[in-house]
Amino acid sequence: MPTSSPPSVRRVVFVDGVRTPFGRARKDGLYAHTRADDLAVKTVRELLRRHPQLPPGRVDDVALAATTQQGDQGLTLGRTVAMLAGLPPTVPGFAIDRMCAGAMTAVTTTAAAIAMGAQDVTIAGGVEHMGHHPMGFDADPNPRFMAERLVAADALNMGVTAENLHDRFPALTRERADAYGVASQEKYAAALAAGQIDPDLVPVALRDPERGWGLATADEPPRPGTTVEAIAALATPFRPAGRVTAGTSAPLTDGAASCLLAGEDVAAQLGLPVRMRMVTFAYAGVEPEVMGLGPVPATEKALARAGLTIEDIGLIEINEAFAVQVLSFLDAFGIADDDPRVNPYGGAIAVGHPLASSGVRLMTQLARQFEEHPEVRYGLTTMCVGLGQGGTVVWENPHFTEDAR
């Protein structure tokens, strides 16, 4: 029998987050000749460089996610990246997979350990090199999924699930999706010009066999100047005469992101900054054929646990796998398509979506927005997940003051 009571739950804080510039996943893309694990190493090293007051040996665990865990993004990423990044051999690590919510799950899993007192400081993140490892490559879905009709025949194609959302909700028109896609590009361009993107990027050295050495310092996917007219003329690859296009979908992307988490008491002890406080989190499942709806029940569950409503949320970072998926979330909560609370810096339609790393990108952007908006007390990060899931994390702004309202 235990001789003492379990430790009380303590507050978990988001200390900092960084990411690589995102590259297009193609043979001539930014990271065509760069290893996936090296991208993750860059983010971990940068976190340690930015916070020299943190003794590397104080990191209790490294959790890194990848959706396709093979080749250069396999082999227990958390442990191998920790070793490659120069952390002491005493620091353990592990790999995790919840598809698009991989990094988000790495954060919430290690945060739970911190909250119960089992750990003090963790590094959590994710990497996806879709140029080396296309989504679903070499996967072998169990034939029972189809034979026993456990999922619809089109549930494994993410683009088709987006078309299914258009079918299910006629109010989610192609015109609305096209306008949202353009707005994402415009907001990202404005944020970049205002200096709100670069502070979170870590440059990556590149070596191309033909072009020699280079340096990645900026995101490759954005298409500034995109217009509604240009998107309206695009093909619909997932269905003849469909509504989902390249202009309303996140491009296939390579990149990594990592963050530093700590107990609030430990952060104070070590002199680490507190950029966000975790309030709660939730995951939920939906029908796989409409996986884009996942953020709705996940957010409902998280808000209920926190004792909050959507009106209490002043900033929302939602992953833009597809424009229609974001619009379904907005309609579910009665939020306007152009609500300034939603993705102020633009989203994945512009910057890209390297699957397992995107959750930390959302968090890092929210942390910076909290600094800009002391009148906002609560924000959330949310995303849909393949095979019909959603994940949401509710955060509190440590810079909040009543006087700023």
Per-residue pLDDT in tens (0 to 9) along the chain, 405 residues = 455 555 678 999 999 999 999 999 999 999 999 999 999 999 999 999 999 999 999 999 999 999 999 999 999 999 999 999 999 999 999 999 999 999 999 999 999 999 999 999 999 999 999 999 998 788 888 889 888 888 887 788 899 999 999 999 999 999 999 999 999 999 999 999 999 999 999 999 998 888 889 999 999 999 999 999 999 999 999 999 999 999 999 999 999 999 999 999 999 999 999 999 999 999 999 999 999 999 999 999 999 999 999 999 999 999 999 999 999 999 999 999 999 999 999 999 999 999 999 999 999 999 999 999 999 999 999 999 999 999 999 999 999 998 877
Q: What's the CA gap between 76 and 314, in Å, rounded? A: 37
pLDDT at 102: 98
Residues 6+ apart with CB under 8 A from 85: 41, 44, 45, 48
pLDDT at 389: 97
Q: What's the CA gap between 331 and 211, in Å, rounded? A: 48
Q: What's the CA gap between 237 and 6, in Å, rounded? A: 54
Q: Can you tell me which residue has the tokens 């096209």?
A: 178
Strand, coil or helix: what is 326? helix
Residues 6+ apart with CB under 8 A from 262: 12, 13, 15, 114, 120, 121, 122, 270, 272
Q: What's the CA gap between 323 and 221, in Å, rounded? A: 16
pLDDT at 392: 98
**Would you say how long the chain is, in residues?**
405
pLDDT at 374: 98
Amino acid occupying residue 233? A
Cα separation values, 393 from 121, 251, 298, 374, 404, Å: 19, 24, 9, 19, 24
Rama region for 223: left / alpha / beta (φ>0; ψ in -120 to 50; rest): beta
pLDDT at 7: 60
Q: Is 384 a catalytic residue?
A: yes
Domains in the chain (CATH in brackets) are 12-133+252-277 (3.40.47.10), 151-195+279-395 (3.40.47.10)
Residue of 133, 353, 373, 399 with catalytic role: 353
Q: Which helix (H) or strand (E) holds 174?
A: helix 174-193
pLDDT at 4: 54
Residue of 100, 129, 133, 166 with catalytic role: 100
Q: Is 33 a catalytic residue?
A: no
Cα separation values, 338 from 137, 165, 184, 324, Å: 36, 20, 10, 14
Residue of 132, 166, 259, 384 with catalytic role: 384
Q: Is 353 a catalytic residue?
A: yes
pLDDT at 376: 98
| pTM attached to this predicted model | 0.96
